[in-house]
């Protein structure tokens, strides 16, 4: 067992700050002074991967595994490098199998294994892997997206679309859109105590957003009620009320509040979003949902999620090409938007462009693991475990 | 539509009276049968009134919930159907003999079915004679053949030969798959009438063929 040398720590620090070139140089410096350490190689693999140097990433990760077959971050980097390089699915399956062995509770390993199986047309094995991932974490959105794609391949879009929407609800980015539209991030703010919230509209609304963000829906609803008792024509508060009902699956109540809010002010983005989300839950209202999300996309053109929601409504209308354009707009705004990548993959499948679809899924996988900072989670666990 | 119909629908919701709600909708439907328009002009304003009444405290939370249940019960009267009406067009879909690729075929078949066409999915590895026999059984005059390999794509000509040998020149044969997408000349060579490039393309082509070739005749 060994601790990290100063050379490794320097490379690691730079890599964490995404100073790619200096971090790579620091890794090579560590190797030059004889630090033949799996940590250096897996850092190098991660850095090469972020620069799209797949062969170099594969070499470095393989070297780390040669030095220590229990080096879990190296398996992650190696698997992602194989997937993104393409044409190496057999090796990919083996790597994700290994990672699932080394870290059996790691949900992503099962999701990735499923994606590698799917790419090699082992559909049954793929589905079993994604189901295993969902057993470990029922909120694993990517496994749900993958299952929706599998349903698309077998039974078409009508079966797949509810899966996409369900996955979308697990995906935190949709709720994040609501809070962004409200101008209330909710992150890092202390949980309000109802009795201590100042009895005026601004404080109540702010506290209600924080509570809603923390999914304390009933406390948030109490504050909403207090605001509406003083001003029932408060469109923004009605938008929040609509969101709270949506979160409780009360679609009609949500629709009623959103429609009322928009009667009062058509430019209430939170109400526009909630109305679209309520319409999207009714299969016959895809056209209405598309119209609303199109308006939302125009209202906030810099946000990717309205384009994703618009695209999903267009899928419901069988307007696959337009849906693809909308997904592409979302990906252009945020290349890390996993939901847009999977949606785009679905559209590409409907066009028979299966290899491009697989590429989009592998991009989604890469961004999803980065979003979770999975490499660093595994890296820290591994480094700590051997210290 | 009378100006007060949305208010009457709202009142039916609040009174928790689905029959009255349906009566309001049916009364308006006489003059406007388009459900999407009915939703916009009647249901949505009534729902906005409901939201307003709840916000103003005119109705309490329980009444709001019960009224929403009534709205849920009647929304099929104002919501366009999720699946399209039967177009009466029968389409045979299958993958060519010795070709077991199914994804394109499945996606296309599902899209056509969703659009209201009568789709008969013959599966994968379908012999040319099976395409003919099923067309005879079902009266289908349109066939979509999927082939993903050069060898199976070339062999699609055998399907056209079988149809011609049996005097069924009227059958429209569309083809899909990588080899045809890459080389439209190949599609012509095998006797296809068109190349399907995915689900949306299938929808457009089938509708165009139905409009131009089958108009006014048995489909």
Could you tell me if residue B203 is inside a domain? yes
Backbone φ, ψ for residue B93 (5° rounding):
-130, 135
For residue B49, give the chain A residue with the closest CA: A260
Dist. CA A206–CA A201, nearest whole Å: 8
CA distances from A268 to A172, A236, A257, A263 (A): 22, 6, 12, 10
Q: Poorest-confidence range of A2-6, A73-77, B140-144?
A: A2-6
Could you tell me if residue B120 is inside a domain? yes
Q: What pLDDT sits at residue A5?
A: 80
End residue of a domain, out of B22, B52, B77: B77
For residue B83, give the chain A residue with the closest CA: A284
Are residues B203 and B106 both part of a single domain?
A: yes
Contacts of B63 (CB under 8 A, 6+ apart): B14, B16
Size of interface A-B (CB pairs under 8 A): 130
The average pLDDT across A227-249 equals 97
- Residues of A in Cβ contact (< 8 Å) with B49: 260
Could you tell me if residue B82 is inside a domain? no
Q: Are B115 and B179 in contact (CB under 8 A)?
A: no
pLDDT at B112 over 80: yes
According to DSSP, the residues that pair with B175 across neighbouring strands are: B145, B195
Q: What pLDDT sits at residue B82?
A: 73
Is residue A368 within a helix (H) or strand (E), and if so which, with residue range? helix A354-371
Chain B, 179 to 208: residues with Cβ < 8 Å from chain A are 181, 197-201, 203
Q: What pLDDT sits at residue A187?
A: 66
Dist. CA A343–CA A309, nearest whole Å: 10
Are residues B202 and B146 both part of a single domain?
A: yes
Q: Are A329 and A310 in contact (CB under 8 A)?
A: no
C-alpha distance across the termini of chain B, in Å: 38
- Residues of B in Cβ contact (< 8 Å) with A155: 106, 110
Are residues B111 and B174 both part of a single domain?
A: yes
Q: Are A150 and A127 in contact (CB under 8 A)?
A: yes
Which one-letter DSSP state was computed for residue A4?
A: P
A262 falls in which pLDDT band (50, 70, 90)?
very high
Are residues B59 and B130 both part of a single domain?
A: no
Q: What pLDDT sits at residue A105?
A: 87
Assess B16–A contact: CB distance below 8 Å, yes or no.
Answer: no
Dist. CA B58–CA B105, nearest whole Å: 55
List b or e across A292-319, with b for residues whose CB sees 16 or more CB atoms inside 10 angstroms: bbbbbbebbeebbbbbbbbbbbbbbebb
C-alpha distance across the termini of chain A, in Å: 6
For residue B200, give the chain A residue with the closest CA: A320
Its ipTM equals 0.84
Are residues B25 and B69 both part of a single domain?
A: yes
pTM of structure: 0.86
For residue A321, give the chain B residue with the closest CA: B200
B138 falls in which pLDDT band (50, 70, 90)?
very high
| Domains located in chain A, CATH noted | 6-154+374-383 (1.25.40.10), 175-282 (1.25.40.10)
Q: Poorest-confidence range of A183-197, B63-77, B109-123?
A: A183-197
For residue A156, give the chain B residue with the closest CA: B107
Assess B106–A contact: CB distance below 8 Å, yes or no.
Answer: yes
Nearest to A219 by CA among A232, A209, A234: A209
Mean pLDDT of all residues in chain B? 91
A339-379 pLDDT per residue, tens: 999 999 999 999 999 989 989 998 898 898 888 899 999 99
Contacts of A217 (CB under 8 A, 6+ apart): A211, A244, A247, A248
Could you tell me if residue B83 is inside a domain? no
Are residues B58 and B154 both part of a single domain?
A: no
State which of A159-168, A274-283, A323-332, B36-45 shows the largest mean pLDDT. Answer: A323-332
Could you tell me if residue B174 is inside a domain? yes
Range of the domain at B72: 5-77
Which residue of A238, A282, A349 is in closest CB contact with B103?
Answer: A349
Which one-letter DSSP state was computed for residue B174?
A: E
Which residue of A156, A259, A262 is in closest CB contact with B110?
Answer: A156
Assess B149–A contact: CB distance below 8 Å, yes or no.
Answer: no
pLDDT at A2 over 80: no
pLDDT at B120 over 60: yes
Which residue of B54, B110, B176 is in closest CB contact with A352?
Answer: B176
Mean pLDDT of all residues in chain A? 92
Q: How many structural domains are present in chain B?
A: 2
Q: What pLDDT sits at residue B45?
A: 96
Assess A315–B contact: CB distance below 8 Å, yes or no.
Answer: no
Q: What pLDDT sits at residue B166?
A: 94
A159 falls in which pLDDT band (50, 70, 90)?
confident
Are residues B106 and B55 both part of a single domain?
A: no
B35 falls in which pLDDT band (50, 70, 90)?
confident
Are residues B27 and B50 both part of a single domain?
A: yes
B214 falls in which pLDDT band (50, 70, 90)?
confident
Q: What pLDDT sits at residue A387?
A: 57
Could you tell me if residue B218 is inside a domain? no
Q: Work out the percent of chain A whose per-residue pLDDT is above 90.
A: 74
A265 falls in which pLDDT band (50, 70, 90)?
very high
For residue B109, give the chain A residue with the closest CA: A156
B44-97 pLDDT per residue, tens: 999 999 999 999 999 999 999 999 999 999 988 998 877 778 899 999 999 999
Are residues B40 and B96 both part of a single domain?
A: no
Could you tell me if residue B219 is inside a domain? no
CB-CB under 8 Å, A351 with B198:
yes
- Residues of B in Cβ contact (< 8 Å) with A272: none
A58-62, long-range: CB within 8 Å, 24+ apart, which pairs?
Answer: A58/A82, A58/A85
CATH number at residue B58: 1.10.1240
pLDDT at A89 over 90: no
Which 3-state string (H, E, C) describes A150-174?
HHHHHHCHHHHHHHHHHHHHHCHHH
Are residues B21 and B58 both part of a single domain?
A: yes
Q: Are A80 and A46 in contact (CB under 8 A)?
A: no
The average pLDDT across A289-311 equals 95
SS3 B175: strand
Q: Are B123 and B94 in contact (CB under 8 A)?
A: yes
Assess A288–B contact: CB distance below 8 Å, yes or no.
Answer: yes
Q: What pLDDT sits at residue B33?
A: 64
According to DSSP, the residues that pair with B95 across neighbouring strands are: B146
DSSP labels, B85-139 = PP---EEEEEEETT----HHHHHHHHHHHHTT-EEEEEEEEE-HHHHHHHHHHHT
pLDDT at A250 over 90: yes
Q: What pLDDT sits at residue A212?
A: 95
CA distances from A299 to A91, A176, A266, A306 (A): 46, 16, 11, 9
Q: Copy the structure tokens of residue A193.
A: 């105590």
Q: How close does chain A come to B79, measured CA to CA in Å?
A: 6
Taken in order A181, A183, A186, A192, is the CA torsion positive or negative? negative
B83-111 pLDDT per residue, tens: 778 899 999 999 999 999 999 999 999 99
Nearest to A147 by CA among A320, A161, A247, A302: A161
CB-CB under 8 Å, B50 with A256:
yes
Are residues B99 and B203 both part of a single domain?
A: yes
Assess B110–A contact: CB distance below 8 Å, yes or no.
Answer: yes
Dist. CA A307–CA A320, nearest whole Å: 14
Specify whether the backbone of B139 is left (phi greater than 0), alpha (psi in -120 to 50) or beta: left
CB-CB under 8 Å, A320 with B65:
no
Nearest to B78 by CA among B30, B7, B25, B24: B25
CATH number at residue B185: 3.40.50.280
Are residues B118 and B196 both part of a single domain?
A: yes
Q: What pLDDT sits at residue B37?
A: 83
């Amino acid at each position: 067992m060994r601790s990290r040398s100063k050379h490794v720590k320097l490379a690691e620090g730079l890599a964490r700050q995404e100073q790619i070139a200096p971090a790579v140089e620091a890794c090579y410096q560590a190797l030059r002074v004889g630090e033949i350490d799996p940590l250096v190689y897996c850092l190098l693999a991660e850095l090469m991967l972020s620069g799209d140097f797949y062969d170099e990433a594969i070499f470095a990760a393989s070297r780390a595994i040669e030095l220590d077959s229990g080096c879990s971050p190296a398996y992650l980097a190696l698997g992602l490098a194989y997937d993104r390089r393409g044409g190496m699915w057999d090796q990919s399956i083996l790597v994700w199998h290994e990672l699932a062995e080394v870290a059996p509770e790691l949900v992503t390993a099962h999701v990735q294994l499923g994606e590698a199986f799917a790419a090699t047309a082992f559909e049954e094995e793929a589905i079993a892997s994604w189901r295993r991932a969902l057993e470990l974490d029922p909120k694993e959105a990517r496994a749900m997206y993958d299952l929706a794609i599998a349903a698309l391949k077998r039974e078409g879009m009508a079966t797949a679309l509810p899966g996409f929407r369900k996955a979308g609800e697990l995906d935190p980015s949709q709720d994040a859109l609501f809070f962004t539209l409200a101008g209330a991030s909710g992150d890092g703010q202390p949980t309000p105590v109802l009795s201590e919230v100042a009895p005026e509209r601004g404080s109540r609304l702010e506290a209600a957003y924080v509570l809603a963000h923390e999914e304390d829906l009933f406390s948030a609803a109490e504050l909403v009620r207090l605001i509406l008792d003083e001003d029932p024509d408060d469109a923004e508060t009605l938008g929040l009320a609509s969101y709270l009902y949506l979160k409780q699956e009360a679609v009609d109540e949500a629709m009623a509040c959103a429609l009322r809010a928009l009667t009062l002010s058509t430019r209430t983005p939170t109400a526009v979003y909630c109305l679209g989300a309520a319409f999207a839950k009714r299969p016959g209202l895809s056209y209405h949902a598309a119209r609303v999300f199109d308006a939302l996309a125009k209202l906030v053109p810099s946000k990717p999620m309205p384009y994703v929601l618009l695209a999903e409504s267009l899928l419901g209308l069988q307007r696959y090409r337009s849906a693809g354009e909308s997904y592409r707009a979302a990906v252009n705004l945020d290349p890390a938007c996993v939901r847009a990548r999977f949606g785009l993959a679905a559209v590409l499948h409907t066009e028979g462009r299966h290899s491009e679809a697989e590429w989009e899924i592998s991009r989604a996988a890469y961004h999803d693991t980065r979003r979770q900072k999975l490499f660093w989670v595994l890296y820290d666990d591994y480094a700590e475990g051997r210290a | 539509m009378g100006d007060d119909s949305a208010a009457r629908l709202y009142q039916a919701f609040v009174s928790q009276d689905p029959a009255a709600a349906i009566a309001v909708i049916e009364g308006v439907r006489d003059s406007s049968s388009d459900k999407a328009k009915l939703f916009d002009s009647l249901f949505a304003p009534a729902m906005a009134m409901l939201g307003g009444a709840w916000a103003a405290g005119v109705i309490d939370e329980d009444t709001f919930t019960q009224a929403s249940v009534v709205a849920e019960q009647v929304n099929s009267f104002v919501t366009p159907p999720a699946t399209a009406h039967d177009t009466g067009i029968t389409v045979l879909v299958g993958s060519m003999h010795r070709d077991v690729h199914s994804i394109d075929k499945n996606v296309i078949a599902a899209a056509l079915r969703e659009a209201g066409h009568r789709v008969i999915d013959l599966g994968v590895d379908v012999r040319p004679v099976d395409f003919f026999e099923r067309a005879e059984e079902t009266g289908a005059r349109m066939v979509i053949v999927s082939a993903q390999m050069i060898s199976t794509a070339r062999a699609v000509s055998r399907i056209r030969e079988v149809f011609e040998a049996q005097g069924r020149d009227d059958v429209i044969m569309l083809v899909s798959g990588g080899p045809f997408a890459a080389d439209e000349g190949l599609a012509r060579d095998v006797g296809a009438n068109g190349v399907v490039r995915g689900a949306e393309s299938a929808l457009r082509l089938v509708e165009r063929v139905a409009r131009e070739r089958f108009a006014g005749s048995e489909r």
